[in-house]
Amino acid sequence: MPRNRRSGASEETPQFTNITEARETLAEIHARNDGELDGADRERWTAAESFIQTAETRMEHLKGLARSGSIDGPNRSRQTGSQGRDESSSYSRARRTIDGYSREALPDDVRHRVSQAFDDARGADRDRLSDYAACAADPDYLSAFMRILVDPAGGHRSWSSDELQAWQRMDSVRALGVGAAGDGASAAVPLVLDPSVALTSDGSVNPIRQLASTQSILGNRWQGVSSEGVVNDWTLEAQEVPLTPLTFEPPAITTRKYTAFVPFSFELGGNGTGGDWRQLADELRKIFADSVDNQQAVAFATGTGPADGEFAQPEGVVTGLDGTASQLFAGGAFDRDDLLAVRYAVPPRFRANASVVSSLEVQDAAREFHAIDAGVGDVSILTEGNPPTFRGWKWLEYSELDADPSEVGANFLVAGDFNAGYKIVDRVGTSIEIVAHLFGNAGRPTGQRGGLLWGRVGAGVINANALRLLSNGTS
């Protein structure tokens, strides 16, 4: 905590030794003030903010000097890890904490997503993300969270000193705008329960997360760069390049708020001690992930996108391709020629990483197509496996696409390079508001509690040329 902190209007301006102290001061002031700050707290708040801003500016300056070779940077330090990062940093603490979990609690795909989020972040954003991840992955924060979940009124009274400190550290991080600060939520969801990183996505329902490009961000909007705006030409040496009209609209995705309400009985929660809450944590992890995954499976197929105003959803892949030059039409009964037309319509540069998604019914219909001309042999055009392949392209089940290809207007198959064509953006952190008692229709308690979970995710087609949508109808 800061030095020289005394109560009263005559309190001296506090002195800080590190950013953590300054952030803890902000969190402390934030926790006890609902409205305008008084003179002493206002002075301490201003001093803490100024210290953080100055410290971050100095750190960026030192990093710049290190990159230029003017001073010894992290890559030359004896205390650095294999990636050249300071082992005492929040990044390293987060990685060590995450690596300490069993594969059952944090599967490899979840670890990969967290690692990818670290790699995508830069500078101060990576520091903030690391601070949040270190807090959210802390086992002491998980146990503190579960005690509050099963006993909202008194769970904090059974906290150990380590659990109390873990909760306070998370409050400090969220007070600075990381995770979901200022949203009124009673708690941030611990990493092992967070559906924004622990989605099941095993391919049986929602394969889009496997195939698409995914990224975690700290804000609400992702701004990208598209190669479609690049203009190439041939020029002579020392000659002015030709004037070529350039229309360039870089892709952007805004995250959208999703919610899920999960009721659970008092008995499942137990009294918040011993192993009872661990049973509840295991159940909640599955319920949160399955609920959000199913919701997003629909959105990633037919989500309305930004056109739906205040109720906007992520843009689905069908929505983004419908009505574009990337939409092909079967025109009648779905047959082998339609499938081959889709394959050849995918541009050559997107074929190496191409996949196919459809309902199981459409996949089974394709199994009846011969690998060569009709009537010659009985070898299916699909090669069986898990998943099956279509001439080298993985074919995954996506139950949210139309199942009957003969229905007029059906959008029943998408093929191409999803990693290049479709983007999913997750805002870091999921929040939960704990409802202590649920009531039945007669207004009497049901013996249940509930958790109102919410987070933000965005998605959209960022390069329609990389994908092809097959529909029933005529162009």
SS3 labels along 105-122: CCCHHHHHHHHHHHHHCC
Over residues 399-422, the pLDDT tens digits come to: 999 999 999 899 999 999 999 999
What integer is the mean pLDDT of 81-103? 61
Q: Tell me the residue ranges of DSSP E strands in 273-392.
A: 327-329, 355-358, 382-383, 389-390
Look up residue 275 and give its amino acid. Answer: G
How far is Cα of residue 266 from the mean position of the Cα atoms in its chain?
31
Strands 411-416 and 467-471, by their bridges, are antiparallel
Band of residue 1 on the pLDDT scale cut at 50, 70, 90 = very low
| Structure tokens belonging to residue 370 | 């011969």
Q: Of residues 40 and 64, which shows the higher confidence score?
A: 40
CA-based nearest residue to 197, from 275, 98, 93: 98
CA-based nearest residue to 218, from 123, 98, 126: 126
Q: H or E element: which one contains 393?
A: strand 393-397
Over residues 219-270, the pLDDT tens digits come to: 788 887 665 556 677 777 877 777 666 555 678 898 998 988 888 888 766 5
Q: Of residues 193 and 319, which shows the higher confidence score?
A: 319
| DSSP category for residue 15 | B
Share of the chain above pLDDT 90, in %: 29
Question: Is residue 183 scored above 60 in pLDDT?
Answer: no
What integer is the mean pLDDT of 267-278? 56
- For residue 386, CA distances in Å to 296, 373, 473 come to 23, 26, 31
Band of residue 84 on the pLDDT scale cut at 50, 70, 90 = very low
Question: Is residue 76 scored above 60 in pLDDT?
Answer: no
Q: What is the dihedral of CA 132, 137, 138, 142, to 10 degrees?
A: 110
**Mean pLDDT, rounded, of the chain:** 78
For 307-336, the three-class secondary structure string (H helix, E strand, C coil) is: HHHHHCCCECHHHHHCCCCCEEECCCCCCH
Q: How many helices and strands (H and E) does the chain possess?
A: 14, 15
Question: Is residue 275 scored above 80 in pLDDT?
Answer: no
Band of residue 317 on the pLDDT scale cut at 50, 70, 90 = very high
pTM above 0.75? Answer: no
| Structure tokens belonging to residue 413 | 């198959």
Band of residue 64 on the pLDDT scale cut at 50, 70, 90 = low
What integer is the mean pLDDT of 70-82? 41
| DSSP category for residue 17 | S
What integer is the mean pLDDT of 318-324? 94
435: β partners: 450
Q: Of residues 80 and 277, which shows the higher confidence score?
A: 277
Over residues 131-167, the pLDDT tens digits come to: 888 888 888 999 899 888 888 888 889 899 999 999 9
3-state SS assignment for residue 103? coil
**Structural fold of domain 183-225+247-475:** phage-related protein like fold (3.90.1690)
Half-sphere exposure of 244 (CA within 13 A, CB side): 12
Return the pLDDT at 7: 40
Asked if residues 302 and 322 have their Cβ atoms less than 8 Å apart, the reply is no
Domain boundaries, the chain: 12-63, 183-225+247-475
What integer is the mean pLDDT of 56-82? 51
Band of residue 287 on the pLDDT scale cut at 50, 70, 90 = confident
Return the pLDDT at 94: 73
C-alpha to C-alpha distance for 234 and 252, rounded to whole angstroms: 31
